[in-house]
Amino acid sequence: MIRVFIVDDHPVVIEGIHSLLKKEKNIEWAGQAMNAQSCLGFFVNNTADVILMDISMPGMDGVELCAVIKVKYPGIMVLGLSTFNQGLYIKKMMENGASGYILKNSSKEELLEAIHTVSEGGIFFSGEAGQALQEYQKSSINDLPALTSREKEILELIAQGYTNPQIAEKIFLSSFTVDSHRKNLLAKLNVKNTASLIRLAVEQKLI
């Protein structure tokens, strides 16, 4: 018996999912909430196995709520729920510990499959959400100027915290040369200092 709780600020959605699930015999309706506060209130004295959680809600949104829930009650599985399908939100939910993401217009079968999968510790994405996530991941890895191997090597060492003189000593170059490569990195990647260089490099997985 899987106890399912739902948080959504739209009564229609709660009602719709409730009517979809109430006939299922291995699913129990644990409760419902229309915002993050009352959801957290519920879990002080109650529990559930799976929370269906709307991404966008007034006040604390699903991304934050998910993070709080997973810290306080790691055993409760969170399944993101939304009408729209944006890679960024999906990614943030997952980083905050969600176990999957489905669209509100999913079929009953998909919803049930998702609930079962996540209640067993698995991860579930509806086809469309999966594609959106992959598109998003792809979009951030493009349009970067090609770096030479030397530049990549020096970028890596900068990211490890070495200064120009230290890098020079390490790879047997003049520190002038290291500085030249460093300036080329800033110019090529169109950033103005080390901070934004490293941020870009890590985010774009150059290192």
Partner DNA sequence: TTATCTATCCCCCGAAACAGTGATTCTGCC
Partner DNA sequence: GGCAGAATCACTGTTTCGGGGGATAGATAA
Q: How many residues bind DNA (CB under 7 A)?
A: 25
Q: Is 198 in the site for DNA (CB under 7 A)?
A: no
19 vs 143, which CB is nearer to a copy of itself? 143
The dihedrals phi and psi of 57, each to the nearest 5 degrees, come to -140, 155
Q: Are residues 148 and 206 in contact, defined by beta-carbon separation less than 8 angstroms?
A: no
Q: How far is the CB of 71 from a copy of itself (least distance, A)?
A: 10
Which of 33, 133 has the CB closer to a copy of itself? Answer: 133
Work out what residue 25 binds among a copy of itself, DNA, none; the CB cut-off runs from 5 to 8 Å by kind. none
DSSP letters of 76-92? SEEEEEESS--HHHHHH
Measure the CA–CA gap between 124 and 102, rounded to whole angstroms: 8
Q: Which residues bind a copy of itself (CB under 8 A)?
A: 95, 97, 99, 117, 120-123, 125-131, 133-134, 137-138, 158-161, 163, 191-199, 202-203, 205, 207
- Contact predicate 46/31, CB 8 Å: yes
Q: Which of 35, 86, 140, 177: binder of DNA (CB under 7 A)?
A: 177
Which of these, 86, 48, 62, lies nearest to 13 by C-alpha position?
62
Q: Is 205 in the site for DNA (CB under 7 A)?
A: no
- Give 47 or 177: the residue with its C-beta nearer to DNA: 177
Q: Which is nearer to a copy of itself, 52 or 103 (CB)?
A: 103
Closest contact distance (angstroms) between CB of 207 and DNA is 16
**d(Cα 120, Cα 29) in Å, to the nearest integer?**
18
Q: Counting contacts by CB under 7 A, is residue 25 touching DNA? A: no
Cβ within 8 Å of residue 61, ≥6 positions away: 36, 55
Question: Distance (Å, rounded) from C-alpha 105 to C-alpha 88?
Answer: 19
Please give the span between the terminal C-alpha atoms of the chain, in angstroms, as a whole number.
Answer: 46
Nearer to a copy of itself by Cβ, of 52 and 102: the residue is 102
What residues line the site for DNA (CB under 7 A)? Answer: 146, 148-151, 158, 163-166, 173-174, 176-177, 179-183, 186, 192-195, 197
